[in-house]
Amino acid sequence: MFNTKLFFRNTPLAIVAFIFSLSMTTCKQETNNTANQEIAEEQVKDSVNNGETIAVTDSTDDTATTSGSTESNTSDEADTTEDEIEQETPTLNDDLLALEAEYLDMLEPIASLKESKPTTYWFIVSWLKTNYRTPDWTNYGTENWQKTAKNRGIDCSGFARIMHDDIFSNKIAGGSQGLLDNYCNQVPKNEAKMGDLVFFKAPNSETNRIVHVGVYLMDTYFVHATSTRSAAKGLGLKVDSLVDQRWDDELVAYGRVKDEFSASTD
């Protein structure tokens, strides 16, 4: 059995002090280790409580989202490329460029089509400053017919017919009411897209009888043949916005040409 009194009596004081110091250091290290462990555990708890662990998960999700976004953007770029392939810029001449310059302010809201849909943009430009007149449909479809019509004149339903034939490959014919009744399915305003027809009643009319039609382009803008003085010198096509009070008040319906009248489905 260990005798403490005998140990201290027979052991030099220096050795006793050394042993005591060593014992105290060991105890202090154990105390520090325990404290450090408790601090580490508290930090983990705080990390969870503050949502830091969730943040790591969100970061992983963000990476996945970014990857998906990249795939989506790649798809969009592919779609844009297809559109550019579909619509190549036509051969331009001085007459076309002069018409564009004269109507530049009116064309400004649809200026992006010059790059994204050049065939559509320059088709519209080519019909600017055409008189408003019921066309003669004799020999329609020939190259000479369009040249004659641009000199003679075109009305609203006639322009809608020509634009759908040349740009959208749809075969439609008749007056504005007939286009809605016989060739179109009505679509909601928020689903309108390029090529849809927009139908109007007469100013201050108490009925919804259709008397005017235009072709929807983008961002509330549509193109139509008009006899109003709003077109330069009372001639030609006009690009207008459906949010303008005059057209908003008279707007009756949006119509999308039925698939059965698309030449691409023949």
Residues 97, 149: Cα–Cα separation, whole Å = 20
Q: What is the mean pLDDT of residues 212-241?
A: 83
Number of C-alpha atoms within 13 angstroms, CB side, residue 55? 6
Residue 230 has pLDDT above 90, yes or no: no
Measured torsion, CA atoms of residues 257, 79, 264, 256, in degrees rounded to the nearest 10: 0
Residue 239's DSSP bridge partners are 223
Residue type, 190: N
Burial degree of 90 (CB within 10 A; 0-12, 13-18, 19+) = middle
Q: What is the mean pLDDT of residues 52-57?
A: 29
What is residue 223's DSSP assignment?
A: E
The predicted structure's pLDDT at residue 65: 32
For the segment 174-206, what is each residue's pLDDT rounded down to a tens digit? 999 999 999 999 999 999 999 999 999 999 999
Q: What is the mean pLDDT of residues 55-82?
A: 34
| Highest mean pLDDT, choosing among 74-88, 94-108, 129-143 | 94-108
Tell me the CATH number for domain 91-265: 3.90.1720.10
Average pLDDT across the chain, whole number: 75
Residues 39, 19: Cα–Cα separation, whole Å = 31
The predicted structure's pLDDT at residue 89: 79
The predicted structure's pLDDT at residue 234: 54
The predicted structure's pLDDT at residue 264: 62
- Report H helices in the chain: 4-10, 13-49, 52-86, 94-102, 104-107, 113-116, 118-126, 143-152, 156-166, 176-183, 245-250
The reported pTM is 0.66
Residues 173, 197: Cα–Cα separation, whole Å = 13
If one counts every other C-beta atom within 10 angstroms of the C-beta of residue 83, the result is 13
The predicted structure's pLDDT at residue 17: 53
Pinpoint the residues of the chain covered by CATH 3.90.1720.10: 91-265
Residue 261's DSSP bridge partners are none
Task: Please tell me which residue, 42 or 109, carries the higher pLDDT value.
Answer: 109
- Which stretch of 17-31, 37-51, 228-242 has the lowest confidence by average pLDDT? 37-51
